Structure 1
């Protein structure tokens, strides 16, 4: 705006007043313009938000794909152990599956390779009834207490064997001391015989009282918890009927088997599952150790979050040698929906019958100089034949996931072992009958439902990881990257693969979208970042 007429004749004060008025008017105009622009920007942003919401459907619920499992029918258990298994479950307010599986694995270890079953009438195929089991449950689900209660008779038998050995060692020490006295006396008499010129008499006296270089008898064992494969081999040679490996947390053992450093140990355990094979290893320092009978039963507890990475290797083929599939007695029961304060003594009669079942099997095994071989009765043989034929057809149909297929193809050993164990616990001494075989097959069907849940653990872990990211999204920047999530090291999603799988599921469910960062002036591949669904931003 130009100067007004007569501006040259204005005083300085008039000129300053005119400039101030112009500045004020200009400020008002600019303020109005800025306000209008801000209003327009708000309208545009609101319109964009509406378009985004309209184009971004509500997130789909992340539903668990964990399949249902069969509940344990207590009637499938031998009567001698049934009541105590239920008693433990009631007092501990835990699923009865935990104590049942631990009990069966414990019984299998007591028999070891003292007995075998021939599933076919004419073939020489023999099955050693050692079994591997795992009980899966959340932390504090009473897995370890259930195992301890169920395996108490095995610990008691081991304690009794140790006390007998200690008593025998004390007696042997006394005999050694007396032998030393006899030898000293014999040496005196031999010296006199030498002086008398009777050398032959002196030789007779010394030979009569010389001690053989006998090795001290090792303390017998039934249980091992954590031993190197070399030490375990020595223990198996000292206890040729077999041992029971007990681990409160089985994933530690299984994760160790995943390491390249322990592949020779993995090979040993793969062989020990069969129960009837030999194994030889050579080590500097220990030399060559030959294990005539590598017979090992196994039981341990597992948390759901820790089993998923182990199952993943079997599913993807990364570790497809069948180690996980050898855990044939895996149970993953549902959590109990209610809890009741229970404070009572264990059922005395149930406990005594339970303990006696273990003692009877131990006495039976001790009485077997050679492995006792059992077959099926004609009716039981037909039942087993029909079942195995159907199983093989299904497993080889190509319709099952490879990991589950491998698991099912190992079930004939499991069923034959269960039939023999049920038969022996029921007091059988001749051919395995149809009743024990039928119960074994029903028990296998129950186990199969839990195997399906086991091999779905990989998918469930991804779902749980995705849910965790959504729940803790406020701890992440906006936008966030996979690296941001991985740095948090949240349970179950601490590695790149698990984080990537969880984010992929969130993308699929509409919880977030990619928001690629433009390439910088320095070039290079842009980092993919993600933005949350607008609804989640409001909720967060």
Structure 2
């Protein structure tokens, strides 16, 4: 773009109130720039082109401003030029919207991840300076985090507030129409600009507040809330920017109130000899200057003005006794979908074929296959991640697949473990033949002993030496031992015995991991828990000392583990790891290959034969690794990184160690990620033994890159796993609420019920709600969000016998509203 045209475009941007970029690129692509002059701000955007008539568009995603520019006015363009210009404007708008959506989606994902890692707020300099409490905030490092959600409860972005009060929005995140809610609406809802203002109003009045974050967002938030709560009284609490031209706080608030039929509330500052402080503009300033009563008086005045001229559609009748229900939260942070490229080439087609035929997430069979193969390697081969250090990593892996009942966790695991089960069946068949032959040999030896004893009796008097020779004991052949490829359900003592016979490693498969995890939490199971913790290392010995059994020493405890678990149960268990309970000893964190994929609602009927070539290729890997031998009877094979892989490993390790030694991550997440010191090299070794077994004990850069990519994918699942500790499990609650909204809460005669007991609801056998306990848990979640109310009904027995029961009454605003 020529100098004159560029200057015209820059002037147009400046005239719109934005700080223009230093230079203009007229290439038809979207470019970003700072609209407020701050470093790191990229909320401004522009598109410019010089093909035909020079034109462009620009705006600010933070404020919602957008405008177009053209070098010629409409009146000076020919019809062809005008048509071409309008087409270009439409194309630029479409490009801008697509880029905006992509940017906002990425921002929501990173915001959710950051929110999941943040800590609860106990104190913060900003809150202290404003004299308010924390309401639904978290803290990351030294910054407050305030979530921006839409009316569905979806997290779109975050606002950070530094100790000095500096406020920043999460880069690229959606702001328009998003807000932070404080309290639950009960007839009145107040919309304001900033968090401190909203907290002051809520603490002074008890009313629910929606924080819109800035004046420009008041209108969009008010409209969204009016659509969601058509019967609520909406108060717009204005900032009185009395020293700013046009008083944007008052003008924007007034427009928002008019748009939704709401009422304006304005802070009224007390008169004094010095007059009103210049910086006193909002309700937090009033709160600090005159106290909570002054804030309450302003808000009450606005509410009373509504009462004086009440609109008929604000009358809520019976609903006045109920709080406005709050949408159930979107449960979990996003996770990366599984990419087939993460798998070694030899497994890729087989795993994806299993997932396709079963219509289950590919994550399930992929993790099971890798864990199973790691058990075949066991401690027979290790990797030394450092070039000049004897630190060794045993590649036995622990995996867990998380999913609700019916998503084919168990079938997927079983299918991926079929090669291992085939090896086990063949081994038992071989062992049976050897054991039968051994038993016959033992019988023959017993018969020979009897015959020798008879002969010795005859020679005892004549030739004592010959008799003694006949009675010399003969070495009995050792009893054959079957190699255990897989163990399903064994006590720790039995597992120890099996591992004494299989010192190079085996696999523990648990269809449901919850029983194992909670069993190890019980009193008296401390020794068993220690055994499992040590078995993850794969190269440590263990000694059992038991009365009756004596001392049993296992030279090497090496265990790989795989199993499934339901979301509700893993949430319950994770809370112990996060809260510092008995589960906070690193056992859960050892499940490095824990995956919790999204389940698509779409089902495609697939009826086809398995991909035989892919199956044969994968099964051949299992057969080959089953024959893997250590370097000798006591030492494993030692693998190392080649030069390129070694450099890449160091490049990854240094920032990784720096991150987990910092204070930004939750301690439970740090404990989990610290296991990546083993996980990443272990995955690289497993990948090398699968795809490049003849590389001379060297792991190439390609295998390490795949391991690092797999680690990035697994980290998103770890974020979801530990976020589950602070998020209620809402799947069954959503099911129950949808049935209530659909009017399906009826008695035998089809009459809609306004209350129910868990036992009555369980008789309907709705998905996930087949037991009274499951119904009770779902109902408690709905009660927390004001969709239900729990009442304790005492026994009707005149003598007071019998236990009280729970009865849940439905919010009238939920009945039959679907």
Q: Do the two structures share a fold, i.e. TM-score over 0.5?
A: yes
Q: Which residue of 2 aligns with 1:438?
A: 705
Q: Which residue of 2 aligns with 1:306?
A: 569
Residues 328-347 of structure 1 aligned to structure 2 (within 5 Å): 328-347=592-611
Q: What's the offset of the Cα at 1:214?
A: 5.7
Q: What's the offset of the Cα at 1:74?
A: 1.1
Specify which of 679, 691, 698 is matched with residue 414 of structure 1. 679
Contact map agreement 2:374 2:396 (CA 8 A) in 1: yes
Residues 147-226 of structure 1 aligned to structure 2 (within 5 Å): 147-187=413-453, 189-191=455-457, 193-195=459-461, 197-207=462-472, 210-212=473-475, 216-226=479-489
Distance 1:56 1:170 in 2: 76
Q: Which residue of 2 aligns with 1:14?
A: none
Q: What's the offset of the Cα at 1:386?
A: 1.7
Distance 2:455 2:322 in 1: 107
Distance 1:244 1:226 in 2: 11
Distance 1:437 1:322 in 2: 25
2:547 is equivalent to residue 284 of structure 1:
yes
Q: Which residue of 2 aligns with 1:91?
A: 357
Q: What's the offset of the Cα at 1:203?
A: 2.4
The alignment partner of 2:540 has SS state of coil
Q: What's the offset of the Cα at 1:206?
A: 3.1
Q: Assess, with a 3 A threshold, how the Cα gap between structure 1 residues 56 and 203 changes in structure 2: closer, same or farther.
A: closer
Cα displacement string for residues 332-359 of structure 1 (whole angstroms, at most 9, x for unaligned residues): 1111342222222222211111111011
Specify which of 509, 512, 528 is matched with residue 265 of structure 1. 528
For structure 1, which segment, 54-63 or 197-206, has the greater mean C-alpha deviation from structure 2 after superposition? 54-63
Q: What's the offset of the Cα at 1:124?
A: 2.2
The alignment partner of 1:149 has SS state of helix
Specify which of 365, 374, 377 is matched with residue 629 of structure 2. 365
Aligned residues: 476
Q: What's the offset of the Cα at 1:171?
A: 2.1
Specify which of 506, 517, 520 is matched with residue 243 of structure 1. 506
Distance 1:479 1:150 in 2: 46
Residues 421-500 of structure 1 aligned to structure 2 (within 5 Å): 421-426=686-691, 427=693, 428-464=695-731, 467=734, 470=737, 494=776
Q: What's the offset of the Cα at 1:279?
A: 2.0
Contact map agreement 1:462 1:502 (CA 8 A) in 2: no
Q: What's the offset of the Cα at 1:239?
A: 1.0
Contact map agreement 2:630 2:636 (CA 8 A) in 1: no
Larger C-alpha radius of gyration, 1 or 2? 1
Contact map agreement 2:355 2:362 (CA 8 A) in 1: yes
Distance 2:733 2:401 in 1: 25
Residues 380-391 of structure 1 aligned to structure 2 (within 5 Å): 380-391=645-656
Residues 493-532 of structure 1 aligned to structure 2 (within 5 Å): 494=776, 503-504=783-784, 506=785
The alignment partner of 2:568 has SS state of helix
Cα displacement string for residues 229-285 of structure 1 (whole angstroms, at most 9, x for unaligned residues): 111111110111112111111112112122224232112111111111222233333
CA RMSD of aligned residues (A): 3.6
Cα displacement string for residues 314-341 of structure 1 (whole angstroms, at most 9, x for unaligned residues): 1212121111111110111111342222
Q: Which residue of 2 aligns with 1:352?
A: 616
The alignment partner of 2:405 has SS state of coil
Contact map agreement 1:415 1:444 (CA 8 A) in 2: yes
Contact map agreement 1:315 1:402 (CA 8 A) in 2: yes
Q: What's the offset of the Cα at 1:500?
A: 6.7
Q: Assess, with a 3 A threshold, how the Cα gap between structure 1 residues 329 and 211 changes in structure 2: closer, same or farther.
A: same
Contact map agreement 1:305 1:492 (CA 8 A) in 2: no
2:586 is equivalent to residue 322 of structure 1:
yes
The alignment partner of 1:216 has SS state of coil
Distance 1:367 1:121 in 2: 20
Q: Assess, with a 3 A threshold, how the Cα gap between structure 1 residues 531 and 165 changes in structure 2: closer, same or farther.
A: closer
2:800 is equivalent to residue 535 of structure 1:
no
For structure 1, which segment, 88-97 or 227-236, has the greater mean C-alpha deviation from structure 2 after superposition? 88-97
Specify which of 395, 416, 425 is matched with residue 129 of structure 1. 395
Contact map agreement 2:424 2:484 (CA 8 A) in 1: yes
Residues 226-241 of structure 1 aligned to structure 2 (within 5 Å): 226-241=489-504
Contact map agreement 2:571 2:729 (CA 8 A) in 1: no
Q: Assess, with a 3 A threshold, how the Cα gap between structure 1 residues 320 and 177 changes in structure 2: closer, same or farther.
A: closer
Q: Assess, with a 3 A threshold, how the Cα gap between structure 1 residues 342 and 193 changes in structure 2: closer, same or farther.
A: same
The alignment partner of 1:172 has SS state of helix
Contact map agreement 2:438 2:477 (CA 8 A) in 1: no
Contact map agreement 1:466 1:503 (CA 8 A) in 2: no
Contact map agreement 1:114 1:368 (CA 8 A) in 2: no
What stretches of structure 2 of length at least 5 have no aligned partner?
Answer: 1-309, 747-751, 762-768, 792-806
The alignment partner of 2:436 has SS state of helix
Q: What's the offset of the Cα at 1:106?
A: 0.3
2:656 is equivalent to residue 378 of structure 1:
no
For structure 1, which segment, 167-176 or 91-100, has the greater mean C-alpha deviation from structure 2 after superposition? 167-176
Q: Which residue of 1 aligns with 2:248?
A: none
Q: Which residue of 2 aligns with 1:252?
A: 515
Q: Assess, with a 3 A threshold, how the Cα gap between structure 1 residues 347 and 286 changes in structure 2: closer, same or farther.
A: same
Instruction: Specify which structure has the higher proportion of helix.
Output: 1
Distance 1:192 1:139 in 2: 75
Instruction: Specify which structure has the higher proportion of strand.
Output: 2
The alignment partner of 1:82 has SS state of helix
Residues 25-64 of structure 1 aligned to structure 2 (within 5 Å): 49-50=315-316, 59-64=325-330
Cα displacement string for residues 431-478 of structure 1 (whole angstroms, at most 9, x for unaligned residues): 211111111111111111111111122344354466467557769998
Q: Assess, with a 3 A threshold, how the Cα gap between structure 1 residues 50 and 198 changes in structure 2: closer, same or farther.
A: closer
Q: Which has the higher contact order (CA 8 A, sep 6+)?
A: 1
Q: Which residue of 1 aligns with 2:241?
A: none
Contact map agreement 1:165 1:219 (CA 8 A) in 2: yes
Q: Which residue of 1 aligns with 2:30?
A: none
Q: What's the offset of the Cα at 1:56?
A: 8.3
Cα displacement string for residues 511-535 of structure 1 (whole angstroms, at most 9, x for unaligned residues): 57999xxxxxxxxxxxxx9987653
Contact map agreement 2:334 2:720 (CA 8 A) in 1: yes
The alignment partner of 1:297 has SS state of strand
Q: What's the offset of the Cα at 1:205?
A: 3.4
Contact map agreement 2:638 2:697 (CA 8 A) in 1: no
Specify which of 358, 365, 374 is matched with residue 108 of structure 1. 374
Distance 1:514 1:192 in 2: 92
What stretches of structure 1 of length at least 5 have no aligned partner?
Answer: 1-43, 516-528
